[in-house]
Amino acid sequence: MSEEIFDVIRKKYVALTPEEKVRQHIISVLINDRNIPHSLIAVEAQIKVGKLIKRFDILVYDRQLNPWMIIECKKEDISLSPEILNQAIRYNQTINAPYLLITNGKDFFCFKQDNLTSQLKPQEEFPVFPSKTS
């Protein structure tokens, strides 16, 4: 029997794969360190990318329920590469979140996407989640 972990967002036990371990760590950081409400986080939901159906790892919504950040998780032994960023960019063409983050649990790279030019600007730190009054 494979090991499982309870996913507080999906409200069910899921197989504890190496990628899931990273995903659950990031969810914990979002909720406990960044104070992002559970209700504004989606995990592994389907999206249509071109003609293909794909699943994003994590999507964080702002308080107005607009996509705020798409997060692509990879297992710890996968180096973060341009290909992984391109995967997040392709998903974000459908979602249009202002922030993209890729992580393997050890490292992360965060980018802000310019609405007009679609160019990505690297962020030195994790962005501040919008307050209730924003």
What is the per-residue pLDDT for 104?
Answer: 97
> What is the value of pTM for the model shown?
0.91
The Cα–Cα gap between 73 and 7 comes to 15
CA angle, residues 18, 84, 128, in degrees to nearest 5: 85
The residue extents of the domains of the chain are: 18-123
Arithmetic mean of pLDDT, 85-92: 91
Q: Under a CB-based contact definition with an 8 Å cutoff, are residues 74 and 45 in contact?
A: no
**CATH code for the structural domain at 18-123:** 3.90.1570.30
Arithmetic mean of pLDDT, 25-39: 96
